[in-house]
Structure 1
């Protein structure tokens, strides 16, 4: 699986198969996963929408039919009851259970849309992944987590305020910049970071380490992940590995704001490792 994911990670971003890469990530948890069968499920969902469309149809009607089919007929919905369930981060589980979090539901929405010829793009919005498409009048933002609802500017500002706990005029990026289309690697890394957070909150540190390895395979230039891996190794009392990761982090980001704290931890770890020799 590592080799297959590594090969996919080498492909140019625009040529990356988002669904296949997401399913390869899920194989870590589900070793016998039949990726092709889940790709066929996406094909079947798209075929279900296509069957309900008239011969001549515009983008708006196609999206309305897509929403009706996925979220009403098929019953896909946001998992508001068990949001932090690790299964919500795995595309196979979301396709099976029809419950997910914003990013996995958005991946399904985009992948079904792509099969229908709809140019949907992911938006790595703070705190809540979204989907958008462009029209002559401007960009339209949709929320698959809430049934494909259209998001107004007021909705987006309110979402930002909920994420940041108050007003949004405190140095955050302008709304337009926050709606920039996310590349495939960015989407995969955000999904993996969600999963990492879930594992850390559950104190499943071995699984969190595996997720970090996946992140660095897909997007190697991520110093924060190297630092976080050091923190996990330190917690697991793998002191040599923790020391190596903290040193690597400082080599990548010598002037980081947390550099003094990392230097202190390195000094402490050197003493511990010396005693182990």
Structure 2
């Protein structure tokens, strides 16, 4: 798959409704867009094996236990503690090969297997750490894909929320802490991680690519185009920055004044 083909896939994913969002294929396209001409078949093979194994386990175990045992024990997916900041940990092709990654990348495989096997699971955009919400007969539970899919108790969720800076008033509300997000939002969060890392390391080309992927995945959000513009401006591509700002202006929202200020700033540099 080429970078252009990846863009085509991401564009199609962005136009799909949330219920039909192709999480696995969109995640593959994100990886190829970042580093093209790689073979995505190991990702698809792992996904098929995960769904088949999970389907075998369902019935003999609770849905949360079946998902954890399948992904962490059978398929050995786990967080990468030694190379936490490696770009490979956000790339599903690299994760399929190493079986190590960040929680957001591991969650792609968890969520895809759950969808195929009929387990109700959703991502949770928890502060500083992506989690999974799995519906069980006893109620929803939180799993941590980074820590071998282990169960995260409500008391620990509260402690984590307090450490992340949430107020006690919010940290005690499990309905807020375990609010589910769509598969689209889960994948966008992963691209946000890449953008932040690229900006910190002054990899502005990488930052531009990750911001562009967010823009394609959610065409109704103007903010990724502002990040594309900022990354292009850092590279000295002022015409490209203006183009991105123009794209942002086509999305109707209350931030028009802010975008116009950005356009004017870049135009001044061109004059």
String of CA shifts for 1:60-92, please: whole Å, max 9, x gaps: 1x5434423432343321112222211111111
CA distance, structure 1, for counterparts of residue 28 and residue 107 of structure 2: 14
CA distance, structure 2, for counterparts of residue 21 and residue 268 of structure 1: 34
CA distance, structure 2, for counterparts of residue 5 and residue 250 of structure 1: 21
Shift of 1:214: 1.3
Shift of 1:223: 2.9
Write out aligned runs for 1:65-84 (5 A): 65-84=66-85
Shift of 1:10: 1.8
* Distance change in 2, residues 1:8/1:239 (3 Å): closer
Secondary structure of 2:142's counterpart equals: strand
Are the aligned partners of 1:119 and 1:133 in contact in 2 as well (CA < 8 Å)?
yes
Shift of 1:245: 4.5
Q: Which has the larger radius of gyration?
A: 1
* Distance change in 2, residues 1:222/1:172 (3 Å): farther
Structure 1 window deviating more from structure 2 (238-247 vs 198-207): it is 238-247
> Who is 2:208 aligned against?
209
> Who is 1:145 aligned against?
146
CA distance, structure 1, for counterparts of residue 213 and residue 117 of structure 2: 30
> Who is 1:19 aligned against?
24
CA distance, structure 1, for counterparts of residue 188 and residue 232 of structure 2: 21
> Who is 1:233 aligned against?
232
Structure 1 window deviating more from structure 2 (139-148 vs 220-229): it is 220-229
* Distance change in 2, residues 1:138/1:50 (3 Å): closer
* Distance change in 2, residues 1:28/1:248 (3 Å): closer
String of CA shifts for 1:132-162, please: whole Å, max 9, x gaps: 1223432111111111111222111112122
Are the aligned partners of 1:20 and 1:35 in contact in 2 as well (CA < 8 Å)?
no
* Distance change in 2, residues 1:63/1:35 (3 Å): same
CA distance, structure 2, for counterparts of residue 225 and residue 144 of structure 1: 27
Shift of 1:186: 1.0
| Structure with greater contact order relative to length (CA < 8 Å, sep ≥ 6) | 2
CA distance, structure 2, for counterparts of residue 180 and residue 238 of structure 1: 40
> With structure 1 as the length reference, what TM-score do the two structures score?
0.82
Are the aligned partners of 2:111 and 2:121 in contact in 1 as well (CA < 8 Å)?
yes
Write out aligned runs for 1:92-131 (5 A): 92-131=93-132
Secondary structure of 1:27's counterpart equals: helix
Shift of 1:210: 1.6
> Who is 1:157 aligned against?
158
CA distance, structure 2, for counterparts of residue 104 and residue 127 of structure 1: 14
Unpaired runs of at least 5, structure 2: none
Aligned length: 265
Unpaired runs of at least 5, structure 1: none
